[in-house]
Structure 1
């Protein structure tokens, strides 16, 4: 469904955008309003019915009365306050799902301006997501999604301050960043037109980062979750929805793609709505194709005199190499061995898998297998993580299957994706010529 709606919105954009581009109006504020209006129309069509969501323009505020800069589009819930004699609204930041800064053209200058403008939202969110706002009572402040993302990224489960303090400092910083990402509004820069190549787009954000080397406001949480420039996008791997495992303490947290930018926009917003409301399996459709991101920026936390900072690493790729990379790929579950499958079944049934369990160790030794090898293979599936001396499932719904070929598969199945994949796989196997067999 998400791909179908994204394609539909792209058609609308292709039809309506040329009309605005050809408009004889030269008044800059009016031109801005036209493109903001088109963006609001696209967003309204993308929101599920029945959730009481609206798309408005105006300001975000906190309980101390601090205001953000004027925002082109906000996806909001609950009640806001209309600014007298205008079409603008003021909405408490706790009820802002997403903010979108709209640009007719997004090049380097506009990128810097939009980047800085969205920071005004982050500034008023701090009392909210740092727990300084005593009036807040919001279920969205649950840390559970961030805990799960961190477990997927590192293979470690963190449930309390003691476990957090025991982490290496670079992992602790990532965990805290994920908590901020969990509760803050989705920040998007939407450029209707922009860079002619993916490489030029990538270079613009790298140049912006280098020009501000050492300045405050350029940590991972300060970057927008999504930046769209014409047909290209830069997206953040904060686990909602995209995730990238840490590599030697480095977080590959920003990637580029020429995949339909509106699909990415829907994925960010719908993931947040699914966490808050539970959209149901039907919203995600087949969900058997995944974006192949091209890593642009990696960050690693450092500690100096007790203060946390971030080192940035850029991943430069020339146009020829980018053009050779696939845009999407077919999703596949984890193929596991019989030993991992048995332990996953035990975990799914509520059993315990401990590193020092003599029965499990003896069983594996009888098969000539080291427990550490099985544990490491299980951790690589991103379906389990370590908690003390135990392995625990970190899935919403752990799906398991045995194929007619005798192969064992496992995957997150909360959207029904594994069920659909297995159905397709069995159908494909059944169409093979009889002499091919199932091997």
Structure 2
């Protein structure tokens, strides 16, 4: 479903843009041109949101919180409800809890436009108060944390033993789940993904050339940048989720792609709506493919002094030729497991956790089957079906399903959104055709 809608929006955008250019070709006043593009954005998203959720697109509005703090004027908001009319002009303000997404609209998007949009959207942080958080924020945080760190969301007691890195990442993801989506949408500007990447990184290098600058951390980057047909996507697990690596710069914070910009925009918005309103994940269709993206910027935390931390970034340069190779989504597939892995997963699903250091039954299982405990656990960690934290193993999936095939192979995987069911129904249907 989401693909079909995204394709429709892409065609609509091109049609609408051609109309604006034809009708406004003699307009030189930048404010008038900007108004047209802001209105187009509102129409684009208005055709993609769900009915019966009291959602609406509004232009030139403000966000406020319980303390009465108000944001800067924002181009375009996706909100719930009618908001409050302000005492001046024809402007409205919306409570932070009623804001799904904030879109900064630009006719042209170049380096300076990216930077100004960055600062405009940061005004949202001034009105974000943790006490305003809704229950869905915790669910979104949990899934993102598991996706990126390959560990279960920690309890308060566990967080008391966090390392500095664990603490920084936890609070970063918590605020990412709490803040509304921040999107920069430019219709023109850099004509290629290569140009967008180069323009972005040169501006970032210019800003931080004298050292760390406040307001340029992973959390400060918007959720998505769209420039024509190219995109820069934040990897925060909401929904883009590339797990942390063992590299020094372990956190791939930004990725890029070309093609399907409206798909990425819709995926961000619909993911947030599905958590907020408890909508079934079936809205995304049943293929469960994993979208591919080009590596762009990775980072790591850096201690500046006794009381302050900053971030270091590394750029992954790619040539025009490398970026011209079409990105291909990776089909979701279950993990083939052997007899011993299946037994461990089965016991784990019943017990919840297994102490792989002190559990006598686990030690006996390892001995009886002549296994190397470290290698065995490592093989299971690589499946992303389990995690190990402080010597205890647990499941990283919510609904573990296993399937025994006629050829004797055994598969395991998540079925929370029907992944296993869809995969094998499709597989068996293809086999029948043969």
Does TM, scored on the shorter chain, surpass 0.5?
yes
Does structure 2 conserve the Cα–Cα contact (< 8 Å) formed by 1:281 and 1:414? no
**Range that drifts further, 108-117 or 349-358:** 349-358
Match in the other structure for 2:392: 390
The structural deviation recorded for 1:189 is 0.3
Q: Is the 8 A contact 2:238 2:268 kept in 1?
A: yes
Q: Indicate yes or no: 2:126 matched with 1:123.
A: yes
Distance 1:16 1:37 in 2: 11
- Show the counterpart of 2:260: 260
Are 2:75 and 1:59 equivalent residues in the alignment?
Answer: no
TM-score of the two chains, using structure 2 as the length reference: 0.91
Give secondary structure in 2 for the equivalent of 1:290.
coil
Tell whether the 8 Å contact from 2:341 to 2:380 is kept in structure 1 after alignment: yes
Quick one: structure 1 residues 158 and 351, their matched pair in 2 at CA, closer, same or farther if it must change by over 3 Å?
closer
Q: Which among 359, 362, 367 is matched to residue 360 of structure 1?
A: 362
The equivalent residue for 1:218 is 216
- 1:78-135 CA distances to partner (integer Å, 9 max, x unpaired)? 451123575531111122111001111212222122111111112322xx13x4xxxx
Could you tell me whether the CA contact under 8 Å between 1:385 and 1:393 is conserved in 2? yes
Q: Is there any run of 5+ residues in structure 1 with no aligned partner, and where?
A: 433-439
| Partner in structure 2 of residue 293 of structure 1 | 293
Correspondence 1:23 to 2:19: no
Q: Contact 2:148–2:236 (CA<8 Å) still a contact in 1? A: no
Equivalent-residue separation in structure 1 for 2:351 and 2:53 (angstroms): 34
Matched, 1:240 2:238: yes
CA–CA separation in structure 1 for the residues paired with 2:76 and 2:407 = 51
2:309 is matched with which residue?
308
Could you report, residue by residue, the CA deviation over 1:221-270 in whole angstroms, capped at 9, with x for unpaired residues?
A: 00001000010111111111011222236210110011401111111111
Which whole-Å CA distance do the structure 2 matches of 1:6 and 1:364 have between them?
50
Specify the alignment match of 1:139 in structure 2: 135
**Structure 1 208/137 Cα, relative in aligned 2: closer, same or farther at 3 Å?**
closer
Describe the shift of the 1:275–1:281 C-alpha distance in structure 2 as closer, same or farther (beyond 3 A): closer
Is 1:163 matched up with 2:158?
Answer: yes
Q: Judging changes above 3 Å, is the alpha-carbon distance between structure 1 residues 325 and 166 closer, same or farther for their aligned structure 2 residues?
A: farther
Secondary structure of 1:166's counterpart equals coil
Structure 2 counterpart of 1:436: none
Aligned to 2:343: 342
Distance change in 2, residues 1:331/1:216 (3 Å): same
The alignment partner of 2:330 has SS state of strand
Q: Are 2:151 and 1:151 equivalent residues in the alignment? A: no
Tell me how far apart the structure 2 counterparts of residues 222 and 170 of structure 1 sit (CA, whole Å). Answer: 18
C-alpha deviation, 1:33, in angstroms: 1.5
The answer to whether the Cα contact below 8 Å between 1:284 and 1:415 also exists between their aligned partners in 2 is: no
Q: Distance in 2 between matches of 1:312 and 1:100?
A: 25
Match of 1:183?
178
CA contact (8 A) 2:300 2:312 kept: yes
Q: What are the ranges of 5 or more consecutive residues in structure 2 without an aligned counterpart?
A: none
Q: CA deviation at 1:165?
A: 4.1
Of residues 68, 93, 113 in structure 2, which corresponds to 1:90?
93
User: Any idea what SS the aligned residue of 2:290 has?
Assistant: strand
Over the aligned positions, Cα root-mean-square deviation in angstroms equals: 2.1
**CA–CA separation in structure 2 for the residues paired with 1:410 and 1:87:** 56
- Paired residues, what number? 424
For normalisation by structure 1, the TM-score amounts to 0.90
| 1:319 Cα deviation from its structure 2 partner | 0.9
Structure 1 equivalent of residue 204 of structure 2: 209
Distance (whole Å) between structure 2 residues aligned to residue 138 and residue 288 of structure 1: 27
Query: Contact (CA 8 Å) 1:181, 1:221: kept in 2 or not?
Result: yes
